[in-house]
Amino acid sequence: MSSTLDHAIRQKLRAIPDYPKPGILFQDITPVLGDSVLLRDAIGEMAGPFLVAGVTHVAGIEARGFILGGAMAVALNAGFIPIRKPGKLPFKARRREYALEYGTSVLEAHEDAAGPGNRVLIVDDVLATGGTAAAAAQLITELGGEIVAWSFLLELGFLGGREKLEGASVRSLVLL
C-alpha cells in the first residue's frame, strides 16, 4: 500500500475513548467510509491481492465488514456471505460463541452459506484480539468452505489478534 493511502486513512480515523466500554479506545472508520475517493482506494488495495486467488465468496462480518466486504465481493466477482449477530438471519443458521477484548459474543451464518469448493475471503474493518475473525473462520470451515485469507482495513497490532488466525494469510491496510 502506498504511504499516501496509509496517511490519508490515519488522518480520517476518529478515536473514541471509552466506547463501547470504559478503557476501550474505539477506532471509528465512518469518516473513511464517507470519503468516496478514500473508500474506493481502500477497497482497491484490500481486494487487489486476491484478484487471482480464486475467491468464490467474501464473508463480511457485521456491521462494518458488510460495507467493505460487499464492495470487495463486487471487485472480486464473488458472492457475499453475511456473518451476523444472533437472531438476524431468516434461514437456519449455524452459530459460534467467541471472546472479545471486552466480553463475549456470538456470530451466525446461514447453514448453506458456504460448502465444499467455496474459497472464502473473510473481511472486517478492524482486527483487534482476533476472536471475531477466528469465530467467522470456524463457521465457514464447519460449513465446508475453505478460508483463503483475512483482510482488514485496520489492525490493532498491540492486541495480538493475528496470532489467533491460522491456516491462511492475514492482510491489514493500516497497522495501529
The shares of helix, strand and coil residues in the chain, as percent rounded to the nearest 5, are 35, 35, 30
Choice among 45, 64, 96, 162 that is catalytic: 64
H/E stretch holding 114: none
Which cell numbers hold the place of 55? Answer: 475467491
108 is catalytic: no
Whether the CB-CB separation of 62 and 82 falls below 8 Å is answered with yes
Whether the CB-CB separation of 100 and 121 falls below 8 Å is answered with no
Whether the CB-CB separation of 6 and 173 falls below 8 Å is answered with yes
DSSP, res 161: G
Whether the CB-CB separation of 59 and 136 falls below 8 Å is answered with yes
111 is catalytic: no
Whether the CB-CB separation of 7 and 136 falls below 8 Å is answered with no
Choice among 62, 95, 101, 146 that is catalytic: 101
Catalytic residues: 64, 101
